[in-house]
């Protein structure tokens, strides 16, 4: 790897850019991805500011605009690894280490996050919803989901699998949120099913898509934000 400085007078920020040599032994596609990742300003910023991933800035940007996270709230984070969203949530709701009000879940192993309780298990397991609510100690104020299915290389299959996670996350949120709570989940451009949108519009006061600047411009990812849960119908 070599470091290539920005050209003088280019107007770009004065940072060193990392170049991966073509003779590095990597496939060309892998070399380009690694080079882009290492030069990503959000990746560099996350390392400097101590966040687990660049994804933290997506939640920061959304919360700065919509004010979802407030001190004292209880939060569930689905697909939490490597922990960037848990870090942001714990800080903004002022969750304490001895009595965490943030619970994250992921089947991937991850380091502990101060102020958050982490369950290492698959959210799709039958007992996962009950375990989450039990760990949180009650109804959440906000359910977050940055889940995406592991890629297979088949674009349509990957799309459908991630959309399924979005739908399962939405069903979970509507089954556990307190009245007035919020739901934020990853989705894809043109990928949200009409049935899911109809269900969210029926159960929340406002529903819309958000594209934070921290999402790469070429990415098809969007975030679906549903605010002010109307509450579950009383069982007869």
Containing 234, the helix (H) or strand (E) segment is none
Between 200 and 8, residue with greater pLDDT: 200
Please tell me the least confidently modeled range out of 28-42, 92-106, 175-189.
Answer: 28-42
Enter the DSSP assignment of 10: S
At 37 the pLDDT is 45
Three-class secondary structure of residue 232 per DSSP? coil
pLDDT at 235 over 80: no
At 211 the pLDDT is 93
Residue 85 labelled as part of a binding site: yes
> Are residue 98 and residue 190 in the same domain, yes or no?
yes
Residue 122 labelled as part of a binding site: yes
Please tell me the least confidently modeled range out of 55-69, 151-165, 202-216.
Answer: 151-165
Out of 7, 67, 94, 186, the active site residue is 186
| DSSP per position, 11-68 | -S-S-EEEE--TTSSS-HHHHHHHHHHHH-HHHHHHHHHT-SSTTHHHHHHHHHHH--
**Count of domains in the chain?**
2
Q: Which residues partner with 145 through β-bridges?
A: 78, 185
142-145 and 182-188 as β-strands: parallel, antiparallel, unpaired? parallel
> Are residue 40 and residue 136 in the same domain, yes or no?
no
Residue 83 labelled as part of a binding site: yes
At 153 the pLDDT is 73
In a domain, 127, yes or no: yes
Number of neighbouring beta carbons within 10 Å of residue 190: 8
Q: Which residues partner with 5 through β-bridges?
A: 16
In a domain, 5, yes or no: no
102-106 and 142-145 as β-strands: parallel, antiparallel, unpaired? unpaired
At 46 the pLDDT is 58
Per the structure, the complete domain to which residue 39 belongs is given by: 15-49
Q: Secondary structure of 93-160 in the HEC alphabet?
A: CCCCCCCCCEEEEECCCCCCCCCEEEEECCCCCCCHHHHHHHHHCCCCCEEEECCCCCCCCCHHHHHH
Please tell me the pTM assigned to this model.
0.80
At 5 the pLDDT is 38
At 61 the pLDDT is 95
In a domain, 1, yes or no: no
Can 186 be counted among the known catalytic residues? yes
pLDDT at 82 over 80: yes
Residue 106 labelled as part of a binding site: yes
Three-class secondary structure of residue 81 per DSSP? coil
């Amino acid at each position: 790897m070599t470091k290539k400085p920005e050209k003088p007078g280019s107007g770009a920020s004065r940072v060193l850019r990392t170049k991966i040599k073509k003779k590095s032994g990597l496939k060309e596609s892998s070399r380009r991805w690694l080079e882009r990742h290492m030069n990503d300003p959000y990746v560099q910023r996350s390392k400097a500011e101590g966040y687990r991933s660049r994804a933290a800035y997506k939640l920061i940007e959304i919360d700065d605009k919509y004010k979802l996270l407030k001190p004292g709230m209880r939060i569930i984070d689905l697909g939490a690894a490597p922990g960037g969203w848990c870090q942001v949530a714990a800080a903004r709701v002022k969750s304490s280490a001895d009595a965490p009000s943030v619970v994250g879940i992921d089947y991937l192993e991850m380091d502990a996050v101060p102020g958050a309780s982490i369950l290492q298990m698959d959210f799709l397991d039958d007992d996962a919803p009950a375990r989450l609510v039990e760990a949180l100690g009650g109804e959440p104020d906000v359910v977050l989901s940055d889940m995406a299915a592991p890629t297979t290389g088949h674009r349509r299959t990957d799309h459908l699998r991630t959309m399924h996670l979005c739908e399962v996350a939405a069903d979970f949120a509507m089954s556990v949120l307190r009245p007035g709570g919020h739901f934020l989940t990853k989705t894809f451009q043109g990928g949200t099913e009409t049935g899911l949108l109809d269900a969210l519009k029926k159960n929340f006061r406002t529903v819309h898509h958000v594209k934070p600047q921290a999402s790469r411009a070429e990415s098809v990812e969007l975030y679906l934000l549903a605010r002010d849960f109307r509450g579950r119908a009383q069982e007869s």
